[in-house]
Homo-oligomer: A and B are copies of this chain.
Amino acid sequence: MQKSLSVYDSDGSTFAPLVVIELVSETKEEAIAWLLNRVRDKQQDGGAELLVEQLTPGAQGTEKDNPNVYVVGASWQRLLYGAEDVGLFKEFNDGSMRGFTYANKHNFKEFQGDGDGFLSMAECQYIIKHELDNLRAKDEAHVPGYPKMKLYPGKSVIRRMQSKGILVQVFPLHEKEELKRLSFSWFKKIKLSFQPLDDIRHYFGEGMALYFGFLEYFTLALIPMALIGIPYYLFDWEDYDKFTVFAGFNLVWCTVILELWKRLSASLAYGWGTLSRKKAFEEPRPGFHGVLGVNPVTGRAEPLYSNAKRQLRIYLVSVPFVLLCLYLSLYVMMIYFDMEGWALMIHDEEPTFWTGLLLFIPSIIYAVVIEIMNLIYRYAAEFLTGWENHRLESTFQNHLVLKVLVFNFFNCFASLFYIAFVMQDMVLLRQSLATLLITSQILNQIMEAFLPYWLQRRRNKKAHKRMIKTMEDKELPLSEQVKLEADMSTYLGTFDDYLELFLLFGYVSLFSCVYPLAAVLVVLNNVTEVYSDAFKMCKVFKRPFSEPAANIGVWQLAFEAMSVIAVVTNCALIGMSPQVKSYFPESETQLIMWVVGFEHFLLASKFILTFVIPDVPKHIQIKLSRLEFESLEALKKRVTGYMRCTADVTLSETPIRFII
């Protein structure tokens, strides 16, 4: 817990500020008073029972500063109850992970004395966010002072204010000491070591830690491929025979590493307590709108939106739009091939060093255009998916991921597929693959870390200087720190980071047999990626709320789909190699049959392997079964013997079950 900063509560006691709420500066007084009261109200009165105070402007505060900035904290006991509410899993005395309950708190391993330090600051912030999100309207018809800002019983107050724009942002505060320590062990020391995943999880939450874990795992898994790839480059092994061996190795490798990652991620998630944690019931996402009705599941008043209408929007607008974009991408590809032919023509006419360089220009331009198109499409897809009006954030995300993946896959790899299977020009394929890969890596690094950093620096030069000072060593007053952090860019989640890894995985796996050096480039890229991602998380962005996650979700599926496509493309490339063709000098049909048979065999093995390798390691499976067994046994014990009568008489209305 951050003890250095504290604000005075309304009754004069101090509390540690955890989360900041910023309202627009012209918010009406009555709305503010109402909101603060609701946040402070006792839980039995439907409040959040949190501590909240207005931020008093510091010495350097100017007229321009927004006065409506509030810091939120909570009593220690409130946080512990909140931990039970959100279903946090913690390590029990016997070493297993169990759902935390307040009543049972002393049986948890790290709970000492009054339990100070039991919850990490990220967990406390997550709890507060959860409680704020669950602050629901009672019988108010609208937000006081804003008759147009309709409310109905059960509507999340914070979400309504956010979607109507009075609430600018809610964000958790950074923890200076902790951040300094984390930065040091993460990216400031030069020596080669694993990333401090537990510390990252402690500070940023499980979702982020899993991303960095996956990034590291993916990089390490590529090292054997990179090591095999280097001699190909050094000794100029151009014959396809060796490439074929490489492709075979690659295929097995892809499948195995993805399966092993599932097990590793289950181990990590178990240790972090998110593996067996039950998902909370999902609320409608803030942007969702519709006619007020009754949710059939919760029985609560809630906007409803007809599924048929949504399907119409998806199939009549979104799908045609995506197809149009794919067509455009195809059109751009054709222009690229024209340019390529034109460059080749110039080079052939009068080959000099400069015309040799000119050969690379079309690929580079095309790579830049691809990146730009991806970027524009990304915004379009987000807008369109929002407009489809999905009820849940998870469905929204799935539709967005699907749209973006299909387009990015097509946009990045269509030209390579065309070169490989229509033109069948392996030299051009290698050159094109290398240029695309290198250019997109360079662009990505610029776009992702340096651009936001530079933009922020430009936008806020003075503040930035102060911030750097703050982050380094000097103590700044709370109000200054809050203002600095409020101005930092907002981190939009791991989506783009995973997408980048996904495309890199595609470059490595799809056409690996023609360009074994790809793995080396991706490993180098990933090493710098770790540092630039770590830097941007610690220095460039606002602290994000921690997101409990048990796995990398839909991305596991995306990577597996890519590895299936890789089997098909690599088999086809192997079949097209002169080396393999020479084994079947007479009959091309025979060759194709063999290749197709081999491909089917590989695909079948892949599916059997996925099925045979258990997703959760045995020792964790045993721990999970033990928990389940204990709860079943406890249930049985309750039913037998004397307790029955007691339960029957005193609690006949509300049957109970003992857990643990």
A residues in contact (CB < 8 Å) with B: 43-44, 81, 84-85, 101-104, 278, 280-281, 296-299, 568, 588-589, 592-593, 596, 600, 622, 625-626, 628-629, 632, 634, 636, 639-642, 644, 647-648, 651-660
Contact = CB atoms under 8 A, between A and B. Distances in A.
A84 B43 contact: no
A103 B655 contact: yes
A587 to B, nearest CB: 9
A43 B641 contact: yes
A634 B281 CA distance: 13
B658 A656 contact: yes
Nearest to A103: B655
A113 to B, nearest CB: 17
A5 B607 CA distance: 55
A63 B639 CA distance: 44
A629 B103 contact: no
Given A102-B639, A592-B596, 11 more contacts: A43-B641, A44-B642, A84-B639, A103-B655, A104-B655, A296-B626, A297-B625, A297-B629, A654-B660, A655-B658, A657-B658
Contact of A626 (B297, B589, B636, B642): B297
Contact of A622 (B43, B296, B659): B296
Given A43-B640, A596-B596, A647 B103 contact: yes
A638 to B, nearest CB: 9
Contact of A651 (B103, B629, B636, B652): B103
Given A281-B629, A659-B657, A104 B652 contact: yes
Contact of A102 (B104, B625, B641, B644): B644
A626 B298 CA distance: 6
A440 to B, nearest CB: 26
B103 A281 contact: no
Contacts of A81: 639-640, 644
A656 B660 CA distance: 9
7 contacts: A81-B639, A104-B653, A278-B632, A298-B626, A298-B629, A592-B593, A592-B596
Nearest to A634: B654
Contacts of A280: 632
A600 B567 CA distance: 12
Contacts of A653: 104
Contacts of A600: 568
A626 to B, nearest CB: 5
List 3 tightest A-B contacts by C-beta distance, closest first.
A44-B641, A101-B655, A297-B625
Looking at A299, A647, A656, which has the most chain B CB atoms within 10 Å of its CB? A656
Nearest to A611: B557
A658 B657 CA distance: 6
A656 B657 contact: yes
A634 B651 CA distance: 14
Contacts of A296: 622, 626
A245 to B, nearest CB: 24
Contacts of A640: 43-44, 81
B103 A648 contact: yes
A622 B589 contact: no
A581 to B, nearest CB: 12
Contacts of A632: 278, 280-281
A299 B296 CA distance: 43
A656 B647 CA distance: 12
Contacts of A641: 43-44
Contacts of A278: 632
Contacts of A104: 652-653, 655
Contacts of A656: 656-659
A478 to B, nearest CB: 31
Contact of A592 (B592, B626, B628): B592
A622 B296 CA distance: 7
Nearest to A604: B564
A84 B644 CA distance: 12
A454 to B, nearest CB: 42
Nearest to A84: B639
Given A103-B655, A655-B660, A85 B589 contact: no
A626 B299 CA distance: 9
Contacts of A299: 626
Contact of A85 (B593, B625, B639): B639
Contacts of A103: 647-648, 651-652, 655
Contact of A655 (B44, B652, B659): B659
A632 B297 CA distance: 12
A479 to B, nearest CB: 33
A294 to B, nearest CB: 12
B648 A658 contact: no
Nearest to A596: B596
A632 to B, nearest CB: 5
Contacts of A642: 44
Contact of A658 (B43, B44, B634, B654): B654
Nearest to A593: B592
A485 to B, nearest CB: 32
A101 B658 CA distance: 13
Nearest to A595: B596
B657 A657 contact: yes
Contacts of A297: 622, 625-626, 629
